[in-house]
Amino acid sequence: MGEVVRVERDGGVGTIRMNRPERLNAYNREMGEELLSAASALSSDPAVRCVVLTGSGKAFSAGGDVEMMAAFRGGGPGEFLDLAVRLHAFIVTLRRAPKPVIAGVNGVAAGAGFSMALACDVAAAAESARFTLGYQNIGLSPDGGMTFFLARALGTQRAMEMTLLGKVLSAREAAAWGLVQQIFPDGEFGAGLSAFAGRLAAGPTFAYAQAKELYNRALSQPLEAQLEEERQHIARASASGDFREGVAAFLAKRPARFEGL
């Protein structure tokens, strides 16, 4: 992996760390290629049972690199069409990963950085983290799945409020709006995120994957179809070793020791 993205493994946790701290981890072509490569590798690695996406330095990601985009002016839409391909493939890879994906929002998450955080299954944020779109400041519309995820999370009117007015959410406000599930003091963020990821990595990975697939489909099909999906998925989960271990642990009144199988 190159310099702008680092991949770290610690037990069952695989971490993707955006690593352009001097640019607030702003997204460019190189980062797009490396994020997609990292997400694909960790998603398919059975030893990795939880993925964390986070940033180096003071920011999660400030979004697209504006200095890079300045070079696109007057060049037509081709540059943006090409740039978004990798970003969107990365977003889809996060959503389809058969394991929990945590956004570890260590600082500002703006524009495409905010989209990346929304694409994860859950988010943990440092107390000082901030969330905003920012596209309107440079005359662009959102990308990275922003309109898909934010409208579903907040409703269209609140999503439009953030889009039109450039609203900035604090970590506490984002949690109140349901966009963040864990908040840690800045000085405890690394340890808190590690413990949170470790907890999910120790869980029933196959069952998590089945649930994630169901939630991904839930808003695009009628109730009857979703009920049939749930019937099929719970039947598959019942054949897993984690199900056998979970029932045995429950009956023995002991903690379950899931292996993700």
What residues are annotated to the active site?
88, 143
Three-state DSSP at 128 gives coil
CA distances from 241 to 62, 96, 135, 205, 236 (A): 42, 22, 46, 11, 11
Both structure tokens of 226? 């979703």
Three-state DSSP at 108 gives strand
Contact 36, 90 (CB under 8 A): yes
Q: How far apart are the first and last CA of the chain?
A: 28
The C-alpha atoms of residue 200 and residue 202 are separated, in whole angstroms, by 5
Helix (H) or strand (E) holding 183: strand 182-184
